[in-house]
Structure 1
Amino acid sequence: MKIYEICFSPTGGTQKVAGFMAGKLGNDTVNIDLTDRKADFKGIALNGDDVAVIAVPSYGGRVPAPAAERITQISGNGARAVIVCVYGNRAYEDTLAELQDCAIKAGFSVVAAVAAIAEHSIAHRYAANRPDRDDYTALDKFAEKIVAKLSRNDLTTPAIPGNRPYKKAGSVGFVPRPTAQCTSCGLCASRCPVGAISTDNPAKVDKKACISCMRCVAVCPHGARKVNRLLIAVANIMLKKACSTRKECELYI
């Protein structure tokens, strides 16, 4: 049995949770990076004995479109799946329901679902430094319950929250731009999950392609990519009511 960590994590928060959960489920782990736009996901096939941790961030209560597309290209072949959504302490709404549908379409058998919290990728003041010690304690207990279910060969599907049809996907509109410190090294363009940044001129961004994932901001070695400060200030105000009260990790099994 292999453990597959199938993860879309542009800024690293989702990967922290996915890596922790996968590590608790087994030692023989295969990592599949869903942010790699050049990867051949159609060439990835699992076996029925395998277990996959499929993890995505929640973008406006939905699965990021490129992640959904790439997950459904993988051949699950009956492998058991633990689906995970990670959100910035606002709400995950239909993310788990959509992720469940993606996993089933790919041929996985969903046996558990986890909602976890990580620092908001745009408004960093919310869920700052999470997942924290309490989060990992909760996730550790979740993993114990999932391992016990797998050991019983229990393939029952848990009741997972969410609406069908899903809520309408909206455009966040936060498009990072280079500052004067940009050296045009091209790292942001090469690491962009959707190829929205010009490889010839990093200042050129396809606004329609950009999903506001903040990968370019996170990977820039010079800290030379930013979102407009006024937009960030507005986002902080808009999110204050929904994000100020601490949310806790949840397990559906």
Structure 2
Amino acid sequence: PDESDLAFATEFGKKIMEKVQTADSMDTLYPVDVRAIKRPSQPFFPLFRFLRRVIKLRKSGTPLPRTPWVEDENLCTHCGLCVVRCPAGAITKGDELHTDEAKCIKCCACVKACVKKARVYDTPFAALLSDCFKKQKLPQTIL
């Protein structure tokens, strides 16, 4: 996130807090049907280019998306930070070198937490998304 994103998130948080504080009861807080939200329009050619490249990657046999892993076992000190930070419980204490692929949600919290940079997440999607979708979409917020 850039500075604009952080400012937007701060303002959004203030609006939510204001709405919750001014509510008299649960009846004044109403649910929002997110299915009714119109999806932002997506230009055809960047989407087509992205899908074409993903299909090419899949045909090449590249596993997509991969699960974060420990590339150099000598770097891992078994400190357990990856275990603590993993919201899905895909890494167990004492077995920090392995990630349960069935549980992993590919959020990269373990990669960011690793101070020794033992955990890596090499995915072609980051480069593909950056290359194919250069124009940033405006965020949609509903209060």
The answer to whether 1:248 aligns with 2:133 is: no
**Greater C-alpha Rg:** 2
Instruction: Give me the identity figure in percent.
Output: 25
Deviation at 1:227, TM superposition (A): 0.5
Q: Normalised by the size of structure 1, how large is the TM-score?
A: 0.36
In structure 2, relative to structure 1, the CA distance for the partners of 1:205 and 1:226 (3 Å cut) is same
Contact kept? 2:70, 2:120, Cα under 8 Å: yes
Matched, 1:160 2:54: no
Partner residue of 1:147 out of 6, 12, 21: 21
Partner of 1:7: none
Counterparts of 1:1-253 in structure 2 under 5 Å?
A: 127-128=1-2, 131-148=5-22, 150-151=23-24, 153=25, 155-156=27-28, 157-162=30-35, 173-180=65-72, 181-228=75-122, 231=123, 233-238=124-129, 244-248=135-139, 250-252=141-143
TM-score, normalised on structure 2?
0.58
Tell me which protein shows more strand as a share of its residues: 1
**Structure 1 or 2: larger helix share?**
2
Q: Choose between structure 1 and 2 for higher RCO, CA contacts under 8 A separated by at least 6 residues.
A: 2
Number of residues of Structure 1 aligned to a counterpart in Structure 2: 113
**Alpha-carbon deviation of 1:251?**
2.3
Q: Which runs of 5+ in 2 are unaligned?
A: 37-63
Contact 1:135 1:248 in 2 (8 A): no
SS of the aligned residue for 1:162 comes to helix
Gaps of 5+ in 1: 1-126, 164-171
